[in-house]
Amino acid sequence: MADPGDAPDRSGERAPPEDAPGEPSPGSGADGDAESVEALRERVEEKYDFEAFGPREMAEITPEEWDVAFDDESWITGTELLARVERELKSRIASREVFASLEYAEVEGERALVAYSDTDYAIVFPDGSVEGRGTIVRDVKPTVALCSMDDYEVDDPPEDWRLPDPDSIPDSGSEVGNWMLQLLAATQLLVGLGTLVAWPILGARDNMVLLVVGLGFTAVGLVLFLMVANARLSEKFRLREYKGRLRSTGAASADRPDFLPIEDDAFEGSEPALSGEDEGSKPRDDGPVGR
């Protein structure tokens, strides 16, 4: 499954935002001399809400702001960081903010947390660096940044946090709304047809209003029927697409996506505990994470 050429180069450093061209550093130029680090830190704290730090803020923050906001010596790293990121991602997967499966694997000789979907993946290393591709990387990077902060509290995920089994998803949802629309459409159509039938009987020339009313009710009824049919087709298409994505992540089997740059035997066969214990601690035996 893995192709050595597909594996991204790892810098071994936490991934801050890319440098903006022409952006002055805090210690260079007149602006850097005028603004102290403390003043910049206060400005960053006012500008960003780190309790709701997400992909948009990650894209906006500059390297200088990143440096003053996150002190290297205060970062949580190692096994504790992986455990915190795991709990946070599980909570976000449970709330469907993130569409991914989670597993631990040995990557470049280190135990890393791997999050992958049907098209993308992200690998979180103990030092906080993140590798991968696609949307899931943009979801994981802010999570790692938050979980590395000591004052950020990570909630415990619900017990049933995993992506659902595609076979357990019903083929259709509640039909109450569709039935109500169909009843309304049928009423409109019957009234319209009844009015059109009565129009020539009551006198075509003298009752032109009946013709307009009949055509109006008939048109509304037909439009409502078309809306119901379109809603049902759209729902079936979305369900089929969603189930396909779930199957592509391996939610219904032990198969992992082919694009992962990690061999199958590098993944752990059981889910590690959530307490951030050492790698030698006994894992739970309820199957691989996200399976």
Domain tally for the chain?
Answer: 2
Q: Is residue 289 part of a domain?
A: no
pLDDT at 169: 75
Q: Is residue 291 part of a domain?
A: no
Q: Are residues 195 and 84 in the same domain?
A: no
Q: Are residues 82 and 10 in the same domain?
A: yes
The fraction of the chain above a pLDDT of 70, given in percent, is 72
Q: Are residues 100 and 136 in the same domain?
A: yes
Number of H helices, E strands in the chain: 8, 4
The sheet that has 101-107: what strands, in order across it? Answer: 101-107, 110-116, 121-124, 130-133
Q: Are residues 9 and 87 in the same domain?
A: yes
Q: Are residues 9 and 132 in the same domain?
A: yes
* pLDDT higher than threshold 90 for residue 277: no
In angstroms, rounded to a whole number, what is the distance separating the alpha carbons of residues 169 and 291? 16
pLDDT at 212: 87
- Of the chain, the end-to-end C-alpha distance in Å amounts to 18
Q: Is residue 152 part of a domain?
A: yes
Q: Residue 86: in which H helix or E strand, if any?
A: helix 78-94
Q: Are residues 59 and 139 in the same domain?
A: yes
Q: Identify the residue whose tokens are 């690998």.
A: 123
Q: Is residue 87 part of a domain?
A: yes
Domain span at 46: 4-163+256-266
More confident residue, 209 or 255: 209
Q: Are residues 64 and 132 in the same domain?
A: yes
Q: Are residues 63 and 197 in the same domain?
A: no
* pLDDT higher than threshold 90 for residue 85: yes
In angstroms, rounded to a whole number, what is the distance separating the alpha carbons of residues 3 and 261? 6
Q: Is residue 169 part of a domain?
A: no
Three-state DSSP at 172 gives coil
Q: Is residue 200 part of a domain?
A: yes
* Banded pLDDT at 269 (limits 50, 70, 90): low
Lowest mean per-residue pLDDT among 14-23, 142-151, 214-223: 14-23
Q: Are residues 153 and 190 in the same domain?
A: no
| Tens-digit pLDDT profile for residues 126-148 | 988 999 998 999 989 989 988 98
Lowest mean per-residue pLDDT among 116-130, 182-196, 227-241, 271-285: 271-285
Three-state DSSP at 47 gives helix
Give the pTM.
Answer: 0.58
CA atoms within 13 A on the CB side of 42: 4
Q: Are residues 88 and 228 in the same domain?
A: no
Q: Are residues 113 and 198 in the same domain?
A: no
* Banded pLDDT at 23 (limits 50, 70, 90): very low
